[in-house]
Structure 1
């Protein structure tokens, strides 16, 4: 169990100290961060992720691991780090065993974990040293009562750690109109404040969602919260055969997304998201409820009316090709 915190710190009184190799560490306090790390048979890369967390320039963090039934040496490795860091710095609990999205939702909604901010972490990535610091610098400017979510681009690496590119750069505004048809930030980049965490608690864990990161984008933006998209990558996102969710960059990935618009998969995802949103409709602000209703009308209409209602809903994807695909999918019952 993670001990409760003192009242949330709003002011930034951080300063820095040298830690060698030209690095500086934040010694002030912007609030504590609970890093929610979900694992499943992650022995191959987990140590590199933990080491990158330890090197963070912002050091007021704890790691809470939710393990989904690992049968390799993951738990042994976590015990070693708990002994090295201390139980007050790293704790491990058992996940629900229902997949990665359910695991992240379960640990996020565990009320025994109390913190000022929360960060999701995957077991096979590497965080750049300023990852938490960059996120908190954006989140701290938002009033405490307003749900706030930070996400961003990633630097892609292969299984050996070699750079292989960047995730797509999204330049259009982020918000609920975009979230209804697209997820822009990976969960491995996301950091959110306690007001956003309260939205997760009220929504609960018994939801059939597509992914926890898309749900976070929908939930925070739909409630009128603030979403901050960072164009500067702060994590190294590892691409390998065991990845559950891979990169969305490259021609092959774009063609795959276009196919999903027409094979019914995208339509199915939308329906799952809409069902989840309807279950927490009271948390959405008036504009988001109106936009959701218009989008549903577009989905249930026929012929040209589908395009008209889609346009009225105002939903959009981040790229020109993505929006063209959205219109075509709408014409052929693909939304």
Structure 2
């Protein structure tokens, strides 16, 4: 992926939802201003902070000049996903969209690499780009890299695991319109839901093995990034199957009840999964056999997911 592949004038709408983010917000905003692809507009919304986050973004808006930052109304706390959906629906048609977390630092070529990755922004086929992250601590000292993902599995594997980290995601205009028109379940996250919608619609999924973000790991992370398969497995075992399978069911139900049309094969796969979940182990075993693509990133993770699918 090279910057030279980015030729056309393509405005990027950067979406930033702030909530009690004053501690790290200035460094993130400075990294937006330092992007090599300078054709961007920041759409931001404060989700009910009381720590001065909104004032920090307002100061940044004055520094970068008129028209570069657009505040989206609403100061009531609605949560991460709902706040990002408000932002996404405020973006005019035709924009590439990039999600931004309030506590990270973008590397200078993040937007340029993302634009090169998704290709022709005028394509009518939805496309989602995501990338690797360099994990850092509170003081931006290196911890290590996130696991390398060289390709994103297509639907229905996205139901089993989210591999698209939100702070790296870019959506082409078709994907942005698709996700904006959708109805996510209340307990999902905006990045997983975007990955699900674009994959379920038969869109193009692009994974960049190069890190584009300093992904800050600290005690207030909404999600964070476990550094190894073993640690992810330990955390998954500690959480247990209940919360995962509850969200799995909600994702299946929400995808079956979307206002946007999905391909016939996607709907058939969803109906088969939903029917299996309403019946016992034999029906679930049959569904797993027929849906061989319902897997996670590694073999041990897939085995754990399948056990939970059979029991939950």
Structure 1 length normalisation: TM-score? 0.85
| Equivalent in the alignment of 2:194 | 216
| Equivalent in the alignment of 1:36 | 15
Please give the per-residue CA displacement for 1:231-257, whole angstroms capped at 9, x wherever unaligned: 111011100011111113333332112
Q: Which moved more, 1:39-48 or 1:292-301?
A: 292-301
Is 1:321 aligned to residue 300 of structure 2? yes
Shift of the alpha carbon at 1:287? Answer: 1.8
Return the alpha-carbon distance in structure 1 between the equivalents of residues 236 and 94 of structure 2.
37
Return the alpha-carbon distance in structure 1 between the equivalents of residues 223 and 55 of structure 2.
26
Q: Which has the higher contact order (CA 8 A, sep 6+)?
A: 2
Return the alpha-carbon distance in structure 2 between the equivalents of residues 211 and 166 of structure 1.
22
| Equivalent in the alignment of 2:71 | 92
| Equivalent in the alignment of 1:288 | 266
| Equivalent in the alignment of 2:85 | 105
Give aligned pairs, total.
Answer: 307
- Equivalent residues in 2 for 1:162-311, closer than 5 Å: 162-171=141-150, 173-204=152-183, 207-250=185-228, 251-260=230-239, 262-280=240-258, 282-311=260-289
Please give the per-residue CA displacement for 1:33-66, whole angstroms capped at 9, x wherever unaligned: 0000110111111111011111111110011111
Return the alpha-carbon distance in structure 2 between the equivalents of residues 307 and 230 of structure 1.
34
Return the alpha-carbon distance in structure 2 between the equivalents of residues 263 and 217 of structure 1.
22
Gaps of 5+ in 1: 1-13, 17-25
Supply the RMSD in Å over aligned alpha carbons: 2.1
Aligned residue for 2:58, secondary structure, equals helix
Structure 2 length normalisation: TM-score? 0.91
Please give the per-residue CA displacement for 1:132-155, whole angstroms capped at 9, x wherever unaligned: 000100212466111111112211
Return the alpha-carbon distance in structure 2 between the equivalents of residues 185 and 258 of structure 1.
22
Please give the per-residue CA displacement for 1:245-270, whole angstroms capped at 9, x wherever unaligned: 1113333332112344x441111111
Return the alpha-carbon distance in structure 2 between the equivalents of residues 38 and 235 of structure 1.
17
CA contact (8 A) 2:117 2:208 kept: no
| Equivalent in the alignment of 1:134 | 113
Gaps of 5+ in 2: none
CA contact (8 A) 2:85 2:180 kept: no
Return the alpha-carbon distance in structure 2 between the equivalents of residues 105 and 289 of structure 1.
24
- In structure 2, do the counterparts of structure 1 residues 173 and 66 end up closer, same or farther at CA, with 3 Å as the change threshold? closer
CA contact (8 A) 1:139 1:193 kept: yes
Return the alpha-carbon distance in structure 1 between the equivalents of residues 95 and 102 of structure 2.
23
Aligned residue for 2:211, secondary structure, equals coil
Shift of the alpha carbon at 1:286? Answer: 1.6
Shift of the alpha carbon at 1:303? Answer: 2.5
Q: 2:49 aligns with which of 66, 70, 81?
A: 70
| Equivalent in the alignment of 1:53 | 32
Return the alpha-carbon distance in structure 2 between the equivalents of residues 330 and 41 of structure 1.
37
